[in-house]
Amino acid sequence: YEPGQFIGVDLGIANIATTSTGYRAAGRGLNRHRKRQLDLRKKLQAKGTKSARRRLKNRRRNEARHAANVNHIIAKQIVTEAERTSSGIALEDLGGIRQRVRLRKPQRVTLHSWAFHQLGQFVEYKARRAGVPLVYVDPAYTSQECAECHHIEKKNRVDQALFICRKCGVVAHADRNASHNIAARGEAVWIAGRESRVPAPF
């Protein structure tokens, strides 16, 4: 269908997914689970016995299943909301994010163990099945750009949660602000694609 608007989805670590319509999937629980599993894995690796290796394998499988289940729930929520409101979905194109992002060591562990790609795939698969339009957008500067006046500045992003525009003074939740930028880019990508599909006049 022709979407009336686009729901922008900002993916992150503190909040796994934040949409421009207000839905927020907090990553606290999943990150706590991951930290617990990581500590247990270290203990088992230190033992190095045959039984420890077997338990290690089972733990990895359990953790992957748990993360996949969380991603399924989030993806379903996003797609259901888009379908209900006749909206499209705009996702960040996060190919190569692990190589691009510079983080402190504890954050790197979280980034490398979290399935960004899997969540994107789940949203895409569920959207296709429901007939919901989906586009990928360039994520560059979405966290530094003001969704109101579009001023881009590194200092706009005060910390993980707070966004204050240095130009117009708007105060917002950082992830929510980024999701609005993603939604706007999604709409632009959709319109550009639609125009490129129009046959040239004779």
Look at residue 129 in the predicted model and tell me its pLDDT.
Answer: 95
Place of tokens 């359990």: 62
Residue-wise pLDDT tens digits, 15-50: 889 999 999 987 666 667 666 767 666 666 677 777
Look at residue 100 in the predicted model and tell me its pLDDT.
Answer: 45
Residue-wise pLDDT tens digits, 129-188: 999 999 999 999 999 999 999 999 999 999 888 999 999 999 999 999 999 999 999 999
Name residues whose C-beta falls within 8 Å of residue 158's C-beta, 6 or more positions apart in sequence: 164, 174
Grouping H, G, I as helix, E, B as strand and the rest as coil, residue 195 is: helix
Strands ordered across the beta sheet of 24-26: 24-26, 15-19, 6-11, 88-92, 134-137
Tokens at 57, concatenated: 């394998």
Contact 11/25 with Cβ under 8 angstroms?
Answer: no
Residue-wise pLDDT tens digits, 62-79: 777 888 888 999 999 999
